[in-house]
Amino acid sequence: MSSQTLSQLGWRPSYAQHLTLMDFEAGYPARVSAVHRSGLTVLSSRGAGSVVLPHRLVDAESAVAVGDWILIEHEADRVIRLIQRQSLIERVAAGEDHRRQSIAANVDTLFIVTSCNDDFNLSRLERYLALAYEAGVEPVIVLTKVDLSNKANDYVAEASGALGTVTVLAINATDATAVAPLAPWLEAGRTVAFIGSSGVGKSTLINRLLGVASQHTQDIREDDARGRHTTTAREMFPTASGAWVIDTPGMRELRIGAVESALDTVFDDIAALAAQCRFRDCHHDGDADCAVERALAEGALDHRRLANYRKLQREAAEAQRTLREKRERSRLFGAMTKEVMRAKRDRLGR
């Protein structure tokens, strides 16, 4: 790939605010286009290259992700540090330790892709929306496989009615002209990411945007409409319009982190109802003058939506508790280490 200006790669003046004159004298900014076990593929005004990722960044809580900007030493091809992000989309990885897993960084728009078949699930879409809002990224719902469904308009209406003001698009990814509705989010220098389950058409959409078959695709299983994994790694690609696209592997499980404030945005209707309850600490479960329960009884609020809201609240609270515990353990370990070092210096000083 030929060299490009930082602006073409998505650089914003705000990134430079986090760098000093000494930083620019020591290194140059580059953007991560792919993450491998052995290192990173990066793009900069010097062109494409590869660098080794320091262990301190491999083991970081929010590890380096595709889309990140890093500072690289001028002559050594060594990463100096990570440049502060504009946004980070991350989820909680499987396991009991609630370790956060970086998905994509410095994204402007998140295209949440689902298909007009059994994959369509409002509760899962609400999870994806919480992920986007927590990162400060604009979400757009993209419904695919409209050519294989005679109920595409029903899916669009259901998503639009349940998910508030979020933009909902219906696209036939097999039609070369069908990606035109995505154009408003694909201006030069902007970065978008595609996320969703396996087999919903993310890779097909990206191939349409790129005009080449960069991403391998497979058909879904006919018995349950679930897809087979096609994308196995995260990578960033340039489009003809000058925008950058990040594809992500299909996700069978999406666990959210401590995203309480984002949930109030996703479920703004419930938050508005809760503000009308008689008691500020209303549990919406048999409390007097509860506006939420009144809306349920009147049919103004869907039982599924409230149940999912409560479920995600519990997950977010558990993630927040685990995060506090990990920080406390880290603080205690740091204090213990300092005490051990102090005692060692005292013995050597005798």
Contacts of 7 (CB under 8 A, 6+ apart): 189
- Exposed / middle / buried, residue 92 (Cβ in 10 Å: 0-12, 13-18, 19+): buried
Residue 18 DSSP SS3? coil
Residues of the chain with CATH 2.40.50.140: 13-82
Asked: is 260-329 a CATH 1.10.40.50 domain? The reply is yes
The DSSP bridge partners found for residue 133 are none
pLDDT, position 217: 45
The alpha carbon torsion through 251, 255, 257, 260 (nearest 10 deg) reads: 110
Asked: is 13-82 a CATH 3.40.140.10 domain? The reply is no
> pLDDT digit string (tens) for 122-163?
999 999 999 999 999 999 999 998 888 889 999 999 999 999
Q: DSSP class of residue 147?
A: G
> pLDDT digit string (tens) for 176-220?
787 889 999 999 999 999 998 888 888 888 888 887 654 444 444
- Exposed / middle / buried, residue 141 (Cβ in 10 Å: 0-12, 13-18, 19+): buried
Nearest-angstrom CA–CA distance, 236 and 245: 5
Q: Tell me which residue of 139, 133, 131 sits closest to 110, measured CA to CA.
A: 139
> pLDDT digit string (tens) for 59-102?
555 688 999 999 999 888 789 989 999 999 988 866 666 677 88
Contact (Cβ atoms closer than 8 angstroms) between residue 245 and residue 207: no
Residues of the chain with CATH 1.10.40.50: 260-329
Reported CATH class of domain 88-247: alpha beta
- Inform me whether the pLDDT recorded for 336 exceeds 60: yes
Residues of the chain with CATH 3.40.50.300: 88-247
